[in-house]
Chains A and B, each alone.
Chain A
Amino acid sequence: MWSTVFPYLLSGISVGGQYALIAIGYTMVYGILRLINFAHGDVFMVAGILMVYMAASGVPLWLCLPLVLVLTAVIGFVIERVAYKPLRAAPRMSVMISAIGVSYTLQNLVLYITGGLNQIYPTIPWISDNVTILGASTKMVTIITPILTLVLVVALVWLINHTKIGMAMRAVSRDFETSQLMGIKINRVISTTFVIGTFLAGVASVLYFTNYTTVIQTSGAMPGLKAFVAAVFGGIGSIPGAVVGAFIIGIAENLIKGLDIILFKAGLIPGPMGLATFSDAFTFALLIIILAVKPTGLFGEKITDKV
């Protein structure tokens, strides 16, 4: 039984870590701008494409990695300045539509550049190596992901709690207008948030695509949506919430992928039920349940409207 479940659990933890890194970007941006950044998943995909093209053009891998991360962060910064900042005073729906427009644009740009073909992700030594852990064979990246995720999250939480910009972020997410009145440079705070969020999405892309090996223009859509669900599940605006939510979703999704086999081996079903079809749908079912039962998520705070 354990040997059946364990590989799924392992890849669940790994994917969970990758979702967590993406989810932080969603949750931080939502916390400050109250915006679902629909383009965030696509930035994650673009980071993957950047790596592919940079490695193919002969840049050594050790240089590619930091370059990709920096470039991704720059892209995040530019998107905010171009597509969201001009709409600061606009209705919320307009900003959301702009985010969807950016998502559409990034996907079409990549489609144009790649010709819509699957791009093979470069093999990064060591983290692509195969290892055997507790009898299950997997890539090194599977083990590194959760560890790296936790290290980054701890660093981020420290940053938010102990630096000046971190405190400014917390202030802005608590009360946008008042923070502005108190002399906090809102635009700097927002830009920093986007830079951090996209940087982490860049890290996630390295881990994720090392595991899945190919990138295409739609590669970011599903992980992006799932990471967003993770952020909502954990309580939007809460970084620990996003991380916990992401791990739960990653694990659940992978267990469902193996549910047919697991249930069959346990003697609970007579034959395959095709339940793997629902591995993506499950995430959304979870979303709807949490929204219906506890819209503020696991760690979220209640926001009341003023009349």
Chain B
Amino acid sequence: MASPSLLDRGQRAGLRLITKAGALPFLQNEDVRRRVEWLLQRGAASGFKAQAAAGRAFAKRPGGGAPARTAPRPARRLFDLTPTEDQAMLQAAARELADEVIRPAGKQADSERSVPVEVRAAAIEMGLGLIGVPAELDGIAEEHPAVATCLVLEELARGDLSVAVALMASGSVATALARYGMADQQATYLPHLTSSEPMDAALAVQEPQPLFDPYALHTVAERRNGELVVTGVKSLVPGAFSAALFVIGAMVDDEPRLLIVPASTPGITIEDDPAMGLRAARTGRMVLAEVRVPDDQLLGDTDDYRDVVRRARLAWAACAVGAGQAVLDQVIPYVKERHAFGEPIGHRQAVAFTVADIAIELDALRLTVWKAAARLDSGQDASQVIAEARRLTATHGAKIGSDGVQLLGGHGFVKEWDNERWFRDLRAAGVLEGALIV
């Protein structure tokens, strides 16, 4: 192994998590335990060898026949807020990762604009990025993954939103390849993402212009001699510098489509594109100047593009739920401990009602996210509920971030506390398109 100490640290973190999770009651279930053990073995198996990100070449591999897909979950039509055992297992694993590894790393990851290697290693070890890839493609999904992904994103973002984005960005590309890819595309690219040392990848939809509309992209791919020639700018791409593979949104024949573009393709330059938040994800700007890709690199059709935009909005909403929960978890003890005028500030209605409103809007957003995700997994139309979740995220997600600072007053504004970071990260969730999907 190239860097044993590093990988060891990652494995130790992963093992620690699994050991903890092993004590949880639902792991007494034989089936669930077997799958967890299988997950562990995956990490231990000597897998596909990674290459350096920028120079990575993708040898074309035939997939043979039909692409593999996750299966829809049959609707039971009973109102229920209880996750399945599998979902609860993933949720608990993500929660452990968030509590033990992500939350403590949040502040430093924000200031250094990078995710500590051991945090990334632990996430890879747990296979959370493969949550949308079916088992036959070496992922961990058996059924459609929207609910499970939302639960995981929520937990990770409760640890830290921008670290969650950094950790799940590559997995979102894996999910997209699994959902829309032809067998050849899956065979060519997915092994690079499912290996024990996976590459980084990014889903680039967002563009810099104000009033951005993902259905009227400025990035255009022109057809020339069986090739697509792409020109445009993608902004705030998570992990743009380390990504070896991009899936981008571009207008093809006047319709928005997804296009697979290896980072090594000539004509691509990556510029730094730092923002108010999402610092740990080290956002970059991807400039495409006459970038030529074969037209078999189109991923899915226009309906699939629409599906990606929806699933991305839902993923961001799930992240807002997690970060909002972090705010709530912190302000509850704070307003009881902080004194003013001779009593805890939480004894004042103006303060207590603000906390109550955070909880109300947060719970409502979480339920809306779950409803949309469950609709996706059972194959129903989720467009309206997703639009609603996005609206609630933009309005109340940002408000929760703001109230989280307000309740601490000046202390909320300084970097000694996490509140100012939550404020910055929560603003992203209802604004950005693409990057993550469920």
Whether chains A and B associate is: no
Q: B residues within 8 Å of A by Cβ?
A: none
